[in-house]
């Protein structure tokens, strides 16, 4: 069945002032929404980064896909490779999710279209997407409460008000966790760290442990701690962590930390491609891989990654950046198909107020997204909402995520230093 039309629509979604090692989130996150329409009139959906380098390649490729079979994902890859520029363009994502940087453009673009192709295939056959991936080994996928230090939205008129308010100390972090857990029922908690003094951030984890003794806890300073700092925090949090995510930079740093603590270390930063995975196995650096189909090259590549992790005795979970429901459903169908998924997945979804789906936001209940038997991803695009968020993109000043520059608007002397602590 041939592809009749392809549409790529950049959108801007409201994002709160979330703090991280690279600075602070801008008031809008950028996403690209993909529609791949078949000759049968059905439409497959995809979602990925909306930053200029990725968006550039997506729009460059879109017309060349018309006429291709919706089942020819190898043909899709060939057309993307033929169009891809050879140069890497770094931006802030490089610091926080290196897989989405310029040198990874082919994977990012392929993944976005691959999801839409698979969605269209599944809709054409009339089966849920997970069935194309081999069938569901679980019918719901658990996610974690993803806590952030943050400013109140009133810090700048560009930010939309959000239900969470300020969180700059352990008490406010516990309050944020309670709010998120009450609303969504999450059973694991991740604290995005690397922002304040590591001792204070460890105190926040201890406060979470006291408030939620039966929840699994993780902390992720995005490689912003030296090895000695990571060791000190490991000691302070002894017995508290489900895993320790990207405390310190480099595979060698992570290997040394693991040797000295025995703690399970997770990453979405030091392993973002197959070569790094190979080296990590050689070094014994990382024990849990946080996969992300957006930068590992799609749903099937991530299934292969899961098998590889299994073969090497590594645990598997999922990383997330700011995203909407199409990405959430792609993650959910993928996670539901993977036997070897050892932990609740990350998602930024609770931080997003906007949505492009008919019926609004995808429900998360009991900490899980539940699969349905609807065809494909099981969600439909709300074209009015899409047009509205596209207008927001046209009106917004951001074209490539830059948390550093955003922080410097508030603190002109702020510099990114890595590791800072
Ligand atoms: O959005 O601030 C953020 C996160 O820090 C994100 O960029 C990271 O990629 O969530 C991510 C992580 O787990 O490292
Ligand atoms: Mg991380």
Q: Which two tokens stand for residue 259?
A: 């040797």
Per the structure, the complete domain to which residue 59 belongs is given by 3-127+383-410
192 belongs to the catalytic site? yes
Sheet holding 315-318, edge to edge: 145-148, 188-192, 216-220, 243-245, 265-267, 288-291, 315-318
Contact 119/300 with Cβ under 8 angstroms? no
Does the C-beta of 97 come closer than 6 Å to ligand 1?
A: yes
Question: Tokens 């090497």 correspond to what residue?
Answer: 312
Distance 347 CA to ligand 1 centre (A): 10
Distance 97 CA to ligand 1 centre (A): 7
Q: The domain that contains 31 carries what CATH number? A: 3.30.390.10
Atom of ligand 1 nearest to the CA of 246: 14
Q: Decide: residue 213, CB within 10 A, 0-12 exposed, 13-18 middle, 19+ buried.
A: exposed
Indicate whether 421 belongs to any domain: no
Does the C-beta of 20 come closer than 6 Å to ligand 1?
A: yes
Distance 245 CA to ligand 2 centre (A): 6
Closest CA to 317 of 265, 250, 379, 252: 265
Distance 346 CA to ligand 2 centre (A): 9
Distance 221 CA to ligand 2 centre (A): 8
User: Which residue puts its alpha carbon closest to atom 13 of ligand 1?
Assistant: 319
Domain shared by 99 and 163, yes or no? no
Domain shared by 295 and 192, yes or no? yes
Domain shared by 330 and 401, yes or no? no
Does the C-beta of 268 come closer than 6 Å to ligand 1?
A: yes
Domain shared by 298 and 394, yes or no? no
Does the C-beta of 192 come closer than 6 Å to ligand 1?
A: yes
Domain shared by 259 and 185, yes or no? yes
Single out the catalytic residue among 14, 25, 91, 192: 192
C-alpha–C-alpha distance, residues 231 and 228, integer Å: 5
Q: For the chain, how many structural domains are there in total?
A: 2
Q: Which ligand is nearest to the CA of 194?
A: 1
Domain shared by 359 and 404, yes or no? no
Q: Which two tokens stand for residue 215?
A: 């929840």
Does the C-beta of 222 come closer than 6 Å to ligand 1?
A: yes
Domain shared by 206 and 138, yes or no? yes
Indicate whether 355 belongs to any domain: yes
Q: Which two tokens stand for residue 195?
A: 């922002």
Average pLDDT along the chain, 421 residues, taken 10 residues at a time? 98 98 96 98 97 93 98 97 67 47 83 98 98 98 98 98 98 98 98 98 98 98 98 98 98 98 97 94 98 95 98 97 97 98 96 98 98 98 98 96 95 94 98
User: Which residue puts its alpha carbon closest to atom 1 of ligand 1?
Assistant: 321
Single out the catalytic residue among 14, 319, 323, 333: 319
pTM, 2 dp = 0.96
Q: Which two tokens stand for residue 289?
A: 């891989």
Task: Provide the pLDDT for residue 94.
Answer: 43
Domain shared by 266 and 388, yes or no? no
Does the C-beta of 321 come closer than 6 Å to ligand 1?
A: yes
Q: Decide: residue 82, CB within 10 A, 0-12 exposed, 13-18 middle, 19+ buried.
A: exposed
Task: Provide the pLDDT for residue 221.
Answer: 98
Contact 347/186 with Cβ under 8 angstroms? no
Which of 151, 222, 243 is the pocket-test mutation for ligand 1 (most atoms within 8 Å of CB)? 222
Task: Provide the pLDDT for residue 93.
Answer: 44
Closest CA to 218 of 199, 201, 196: 201
Contact 48/55 with Cβ under 8 angstroms? no
Domain shared by 173 and 139, yes or no? yes
Q: Within 13 Å and on the Cβ side, how many CA atoms surround 313?
A: 5
Task: Provide the pLDDT for residue 101.
Answer: 61
Burial 375-410 (b: 16+ CB within 10 A, else e): bbbbbebbeebbeebbebbeebebbbbbbbbbbbee
Q: The domain that contains 221 carries what CATH number? A: 3.20.20.120
Domain shared by 365 and 397, yes or no? no
Domain shared by 207 and 109, yes or no? no
Does the C-beta of 319 come closer than 6 Å to ligand 1?
A: yes
Distance 82 CA to ligand 1 centre (A): 31
Atom of ligand 1 nearest to the CA of 97: 9
Indicate whether 28 belongs to any domain: yes
Task: Provide the pLDDT for residue 342.
Answer: 85
Does the C-beta of 26 come closer than 6 Å to ligand 1?
A: no
Does the C-beta of 220 come closer than 6 Å to ligand 1?
A: yes
Contact 307/339 with Cβ under 8 angstroms? no
Domain shared by 186 and 112, yes or no? no
Q: Which ligand is nearest to the CA of 24?
A: 1
């Amino acid at each position: 069945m041939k592809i009749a039309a392809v549409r790529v629509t950049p959108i801007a979604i409201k994002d709160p002032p979330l703090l991280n090692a690279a600075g602070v989130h801008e008031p809008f996150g950028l996403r690209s929404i993909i529609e791949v329409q078949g000759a049968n009139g059905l439409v497959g959906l995809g979602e990925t980064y909306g930053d200029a380098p990725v968006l550039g390649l997506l729009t460059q490729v879109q017309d060349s896909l018309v006429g291709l079979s919706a089942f020819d994902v190898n043909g899709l890859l060939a057309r993307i490779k033929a169009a891809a520029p050879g140069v890497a363009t770094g931006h802030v994502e490089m610091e926080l999710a290196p897989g989405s940087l310029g040198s990874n453009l082919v994977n990012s673009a392929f993944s976005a279209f691959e999801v839409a192709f698979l969605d269209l295939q599944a809709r054409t056959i009339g089966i849920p997407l997970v069935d194309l991936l081999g069938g569901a080994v679980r019918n719901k996928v658990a996610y974690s409460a993803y806590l952030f230090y943050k400013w109140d939205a009133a810090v700048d008129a560009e930010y939309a008000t959000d239900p969470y308010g300020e969180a700059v100390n352990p008490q406010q972090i516990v309050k944020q966790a309670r709010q998120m857990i009450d609303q969504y029922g999450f059973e694991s908690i991740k604290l995005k760290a690397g922002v304040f003094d590591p001792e204070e951030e460890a105190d926040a984890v201890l406060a979470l442990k006291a408030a939620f003794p039966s929840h699994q806890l993780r902390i992720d300073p995005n490689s912003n701690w030296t090895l000695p700092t990571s060791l000190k925090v490991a000691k302070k949090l002894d017995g508290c962590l489900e895993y320790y995510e990207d405390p310190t930079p480099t595979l060698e740093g992570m290997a040394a930390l693991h040797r000295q603590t025995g703690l399970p270390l997770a990453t979405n930063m030091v392993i973002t491609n197959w070569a790094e995975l190979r080296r990590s196995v050689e070094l014994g650096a990382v024990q849990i891989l946080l996969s992300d189909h957006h930068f590992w090259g799609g749903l099937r590549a991530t299934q292969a990654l899961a098998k590889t992790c299994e073969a090497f005795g590594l645990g598997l979970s999922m990383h997330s950046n700011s995203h909407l429901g199409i990405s959430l459903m792609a993650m959910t169908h993928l996670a539901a198909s993977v036997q070897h998924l050892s932990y609740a997945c990350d998602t930024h979804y609770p931080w997003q107020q906007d949505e492009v789906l008919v019926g609004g936001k995808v429900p998360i209940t009991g900490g899980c997204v539940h699969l349905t038997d609807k065809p494909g991803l099981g969600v439909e695009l709300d074209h009015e909402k899409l047009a509205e968020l596209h207008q927001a993109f046209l009106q917004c000043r951001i074209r490539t995520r830059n948390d550093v520059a955003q922080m410097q608007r508030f603190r002109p002397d702020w510099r990114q230093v890595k590791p800072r602590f």
